[in-house]
Amino acid sequence: MALSLNLNFNRIKNLPRNIQILIASIPSLILIALFVFLVFMPKHKEINTLKDKIVKLNQEISKSEEMVKRLDVLIEENKALKAKLEKLKEQLPEEKEVSELLKQISESGLQSGLEILLWKPEAKRAGEGGLYVEIPVKVEVLTGYHNLGVFFSHISRLPRLVNISDLDLRVKDRKKDATGLINATFTARTFASVSPEEAAAALDEKAVKGKPAKKGKEAQQEKK
């Protein structure tokens, strides 16, 4: 056996130099190949998988950060809407508070120098969608232009919502009366909120009315 190895080594020594180098490098090449296939390639695949996971996690983090930013915006919008709602509630009193509002309007007229000839509350009417009610009052006054303007200015500054409509101005006959007074008739409309239950019922009724009528066959099938 030893003789055989010696002969093999002697044969290798007799080979050209470049062949000897190639033969000597074979074990190293085998080790490198084993390292590449058994260690490097599996680890490289694992690293790529981890990189993909990192990219996905970064994307999820970015989305979460955007959602957090959006949440802050939504919170601020919610606060603004609540403030707006409170302001609207101030303008739209409950129905039980309307009598006090009408009293304020009447007092404003007297303070502005109006002679109230007619003050006639009319029947309340359901507003658009049944979400509020209108309470109109027919008013007739005797006053001057300036005093009437002062009265309307007072009305516009009331915290509650009051709408003046159907305004009719008539100048008194100067031959019979030289005071320069005018006879004014108008409708003062106040508005009142309804209870949440009434508002919900009105919305449900509106939704039902908005649905298209069902065909005969469909209606018969539902009855069955």
What single letter denotes the amino acid at residue 37? F
- Measured CA to CA, the distance from residue 101 to residue 94 in angstroms comes to 10
Interval 72-82 mean pLDDT: 82
- Measured CA to CA, the distance from residue 88 to residue 189 in angstroms comes to 16
Interval 59-68 mean pLDDT: 81
How is the chain split into domains, by residue range? 1-91, 95-205
Task: Give pLDDT, residue 1.
Answer: 46
223: phi then psi, degrees, rounded to nearest 5: -65, -35
Q: Is 2 exposed, middle or buried, given 0-12, 13-18 or 19+ CB atoms closer than 10 A?
A: exposed
Q: What is the pTM of this model?
A: 0.49
The residue ranking higher by pLDDT, 210 or 158, is 158
CATH superfamily of 95-205: Ribosomal protein S6/Translation elongation factor EF1B (3.30.70.60)
